[in-house]
Homo-oligomer: A and B are copies of this chain.
Amino acid sequence: MYRFACDYQEGCHPRILKALTQTNLEQTVGYGCDPYCATARDLIRTAAKAPDADVHFLMGGTQANTAVVSALLRPHQGVLTAETGHIAAHESGAIESTGHKVLPLPSSDGKITAKQVEDVINAHYADGNHEHTVQPGMVYISHPTENGTLYTRQELYDLSRICRAYHVPLYMDGARLAYALTAGGNDLTLEEIAAKVDVLCIGGTKCGALFGEAVMILKSELKSDFRYILKQRGGMLAKGRLLGLQFLTLFTDGLYTEISEKANRQADKIRDALKKNGFPLLYQGNANQIFTVFTNDILAFLNEKYAFDFWGKPDEYHTAVRICTSWATDDEAVKDLIDSIKAAAV
Contacts and interface: CB of A to CB of B under 8 A. Distances in A.
A176 to B, nearest CB: 12
Interface string A294-326: 000000000000000010000000000000000
Copies of this chain, count:
4
Contacts of A228: 76, 92, 131, 135
Given A75-B70, A75-B71, A134-B93, A60 B238 contact: yes
B131 A227 contact: yes
A66 B14 CA distance: 34
A281 to B, nearest CB: 23
A78 B30 CA distance: 25
Interface in A10-45: 10-12, 14, 17, 20-21, 23-31
A96 B102 CA distance: 9
Given A75-B98, A90-B129, A90-B133, A234 B231 contact: no
Given A75-B93, A93-B100, A132-B231, 8 more contacts: A9-B28, A31-B132, A59-B60, A63-B234, A76-B232, A89-B133, A92-B132, A97-B98
A229 interface: yes
B17 A24 contact: yes
A39 to B, nearest CB: 17
Interface in A127-171: 128-129, 131-135
B90 A132 contact: yes
A8 B26 CA distance: 11
A239 B8 contact: yes
Interface stretch (A205-213, A257-265, A338-346): A205-213
Contacts of A283: none
A178 to B, nearest CB: 15
Contacts of A17: 20-21, 24
Given A11-B24, A24-B12, A92 B2 contact: no
Interface of A: 2-3, 5-6, 8-12, 14, 17, 20-21, 23-31, 59-63, 66, 70-71, 74-76, 78, 89-94, 96-102, 128-129, 131-135, 205-206, 210-211, 225, 227-239, 242, 310, 328
Nearest to A65: B234
A210 B63 CA distance: 19
A128 to B, nearest CB: 7
User: Secondary structure of the A side of the interface?
Assistant: loop
Contacts of A89: 133
A61 B231 CA distance: 11
A92 B131 contact: yes
Nearest to A129: B90
A238 B30 contact: no
**Residue in A97, A210, A211, A235 with the greatest tally of chain B CB atoms within 10 Å:** A97
Contacts of A11: 20, 23-26, 239, 242
Contacts of A12: 24
21 contacts: A8-B239, A9-B28, A9-B30, A11-B20, A60-B236, A60-B238, A61-B238, A63-B234, A75-B98, A76-B225, A78-B96, A89-B133, A92-B131, A94-B233, A96-B101, A96-B134, A131-B228, A205-B238, A210-B239, A211-B239, A233-B234
A13 B234 CA distance: 23
A78 B242 CA distance: 31
